[in-house]
Amino acid sequence: MKSMTAYGRGEHEADGMRTVVEVRSVNHRYRDVFLRMPRDYQALEEDLKAQVTSRVHRGRVELSIQVDQDGERVFSRLELNEPLVRAYLTIFQELADRYGVDNRVGVDTLCQMKDVIVYRPEEVDLEQAKAGCLAALGAALDSFDAMRRREGEAIASDFRKRLNSIGHYVEEIEGRVPEIVAAYRKRLAERVSALLGEAEVDQARLAQEVAFFAEKSDVSEEIVRLKSHLAQFEDFLSAHGALGRRLEFLIQEMNREINTLGSKSPDPHVSGLVIEMKAELEKLREQVQNVE
């Protein structure tokens, strides 16, 4: 089991080029991968995403790539488009002369004009860049995965405590079922006797009513299914791969069985245990949002 929240960092250095990759992820229903990288490296985006998606199945993942060449940060080069600047200034002066207005054009105004500052790509050896980025990304994903596993183990430990508590409540409810039926029989017999006085109680009719009550309040199927879901949940805690959605489904199924169990049983003590189970289930539901 792995958490969706983690961080990893990796470096690679060769031929004076140092590449640093940082990977961060947070909870997300699906898988989204976002990259921040030098503009000249954008041709590598698909290769980098493919390496991430081969190891991450769920979550919002952000990659940050920084490249230093001989100790200096690699940036795309920006240049001034001087012919265009001169053309803009000429137009501004013509407007001023024609309409008799001041021509006060500042640098900030010029910088806002389209294509005054232009991007000039650096010469990049893409094969060298690809090798460096993939190596650094691999190291970053290794540390990222290690953190996800540690977080996943902590979540699994918490899950086991919750499952154990729910299991105890289920066992307690199962043990109370015969007592509930016996108590109902006793109350019914007392009420009938009070109504009939000295008259003889029809034991067959009494047994029929008790049997009807027992059938109506029978929760054996819900208990069997609930135990099965708990066992499946426990098995998933030791499984590999993306488990979050399967665990979410099991929680939905357990919630359905617990609700049915609570609606069938008239016993106040069972109602209290149902409330406790739902509280534990809600904690499971919150935590499973962190699971890949």
What's the rounded Cα separation, in Å, for the pair 99 and 15? 60
Is residue 31 located within the same domain as residue 142? yes
* DSSP-derived 3-state class of residue 1: coil
What's the rounded Cα separation, in Å, for the pair 267 and 177? 9
Q: Give the CA distances from residue 230 to residues 17, 62, 164, 253, in Å, rounded to whole numbers and listed in that order.
A: 53, 35, 9, 10
pLDDT at 209 over 70: no
- % of residues, the chain, pLDDT over 70: 81
| Cβ–Cβ < 8 Å for 136, 265 | no
- Give the pLDDT of residue 187: 60
- Give the pLDDT of residue 27: 92
Is residue 165 located within the same domain as residue 271? yes
Is residue 201 located within the same domain as residue 68? no
Does the residue 1 lie in any domain?
Answer: no
Number of domains in the chain: 3
Is residue 163 located within the same domain as residue 242? yes
pLDDT at 230 over 70: yes
pLDDT tens readout for residues 265-292: 777 788 899 999 999 999 999 999 999 9
**Which stretch, 38-42, 76-80, 207-211, has highest mean pLDDT?**
38-42
Is residue 16 located within the same domain as residue 83? no
| Cβ–Cβ < 8 Å for 5, 151 | yes
Sign of the alpha-carbon dihedral angle for 262, 267, 272, 273: negative
Confidence of residue 106 (pLDDT cuts 50, 70, 90): confident
Is residue 40 located within the same domain as residue 139? yes
pLDDT tens readout for residues 149-170: 999 999 999 999 999 999 999 9
Confidence of residue 138 (pLDDT cuts 50, 70, 90): very high
Confidence of residue 219 (pLDDT cuts 50, 70, 90): confident
pLDDT tens readout for residues 42-93: 899 999 999 999 999 999 999 999 988 765 555 556 778 888 888 888 988 8
Is residue 245 located within the same domain as residue 273? yes
- Give the pLDDT of residue 155: 95
* Non-local CB neighbours of 39 within 8 Å, separated by 6+ positions: 76, 119, 121
pLDDT at 259 over 80: yes
What's the rounded Cα separation, in Å, for the pair 149 and 4? 10
Confidence of residue 16 (pLDDT cuts 50, 70, 90): confident
Summary mean pLDDT of the chain: 84
- % of residues, the chain, pLDDT over 90: 48
Confidence of residue 181 (pLDDT cuts 50, 70, 90): low
pLDDT at 203 over 60: yes
Does the residue 12 lie in any domain?
Answer: yes
Does the residue 217 lie in any domain?
Answer: yes
101: burial class by Cβ within 10 Å (0-12, 13-18, 19+)? exposed
- Residue 20 host element (H or E): strand 17-26
Instruction: Tell me the angle at which helices 126-196 and 220-236 cross, rounded to the nearest 10 degrees.
Output: 160
* Mean pLDDT (whole number) for 5-20: 92
97: burial class by Cβ within 10 Å (0-12, 13-18, 19+)? exposed
pLDDT at 258 over 90: yes
Give residue 107's domain range.
77-120
| Cβ–Cβ < 8 Å for 252, 278 | no
| Cβ–Cβ < 8 Å for 128, 17 | yes
What's the rounded Cα separation, in Å, for the pair 257 and 251? 10
What's the rounded Cα separation, in Å, for the pair 109 and 255? 63
- Give the pLDDT of residue 41: 87
What's the rounded Cα separation, in Å, for the pair 267 and 144? 50
pLDDT at 144 over 90: yes
Is residue 21 located within the same domain as residue 93? no
